[in-house]
Amino acid sequence: MQKNQLYKGSLSTIVLKLLNDKGKMYGYQITREVEQITTGELVITEGALYPTLHKLEAKGLLSVEIKTVNNRPRKYYFLTENGKEETLNLLNEMKSFIQNMDVLLNPKLA
């Protein structure tokens, strides 16, 4: 997603949370949205995104709806029920991760 290795592992969480909030989105739109929200700091490459979308669909967390717009097909993804549950799990894991990073990297001087 950039030179920073920390983002590795966070892509599914980001995608699911976006879909949770926006209802449905297509791949290209997700890359634009993330870039805009982070003011260009996080750029999701398509080589990372599309395999991730396919994986989440294969796991039953996403469903697809194809719409043709401007004579080009768009694949709109949206959360299944399992996807909504998993989104909550992943958000909790992210909270836990950030808390653990906080105690590790910002220790209270005993």
Partner DNA sequence: ATCTCATACCTAAGATTCTTAGGCAATATG
Partner DNA sequence: CATATTGCCTAAGAATCTTAGGTATGAGAT
- Helix/strand/coil percent split, the chain, to 5: 60, 15, 25
As separate numbers, helices (DSSP H) first and strands (DSSP E) second, the chain gives: 4, 3
Q: How many CB atoms lie within 10 A of CB 101?
A: 11
x/- track of binding to its own copies for residues 38-67 (CB under 8 A) = x--xx-------------------------
13 lies in the site for its own copies, by CB under 8 A? yes
Q: How many CB atoms lie within 10 A of CB 44?
A: 22
72 lies in the site for DNA, by CB under 7 A? yes
Q: Is 42 helix (H, G, I), strand (E, B) or coil?
A: coil
Residues that bind its own copies (CB under 8 A): 4-10, 13-14, 17-18, 21, 34, 37-38, 41-42, 91, 93-94, 96-98, 100-101, 103-105, 107
Interface ranges with DNA (CB under 7 A): 1-2, 5, 7-12, 26-29, 32, 44-48, 50-55, 69-75
